Amino acid sequence: MLYWTIFGYAVSSAPLAVWNLHKYNVLRSVSWQAVAGVSTLLFTAAWLFADSTPADKIFLALGSIAGVFCTHLHFEIAELISGHIEAAHQKKDE
């Protein structure tokens, strides 16, 4: 069950991570739409494959939700920290 959770986390967080990296012009060579399409395909295949017990699908879904939520929070925290560092540098320069 742990593997389904980790797989769901990784597959669901990838498009959001690539989209956020596009926002900061860090990763321009990879299309976030392509990553989202591949992630959707992988998630659908895993959903169809994880039919041995209902718990597998539950943990896959929980991992996906946690992946999106945590990735969003990580990038928000990084944005806040970079904003504070930038403000401190501007204040120091004045």
Q: Closest Cα partner for 38 from 80, 10, 57, 74?
A: 10
Rounded CA-CA distance 44/36 in Å is: 12
Report if pTM > 0.85. Answer: no
Tokens 């806040």, residue located: 80
User: Could you give the number of structural domains in the chain?
Assistant: 1
Alpha helices in the chain (DSSP H): 2-23, 32-49, 54-93
- Structural domain including 7 reads 2-93
Q: What percent of the chain has pLDDT over 70?
A: 100
Are 8 and 68 spatial neighbours (Cβ–Cβ below 8 Å)? no
Least confident of 12-21, 44-53, 67-76, 79-88: 44-53
Are 60 and 32 spatial neighbours (Cβ–Cβ below 8 Å)? no
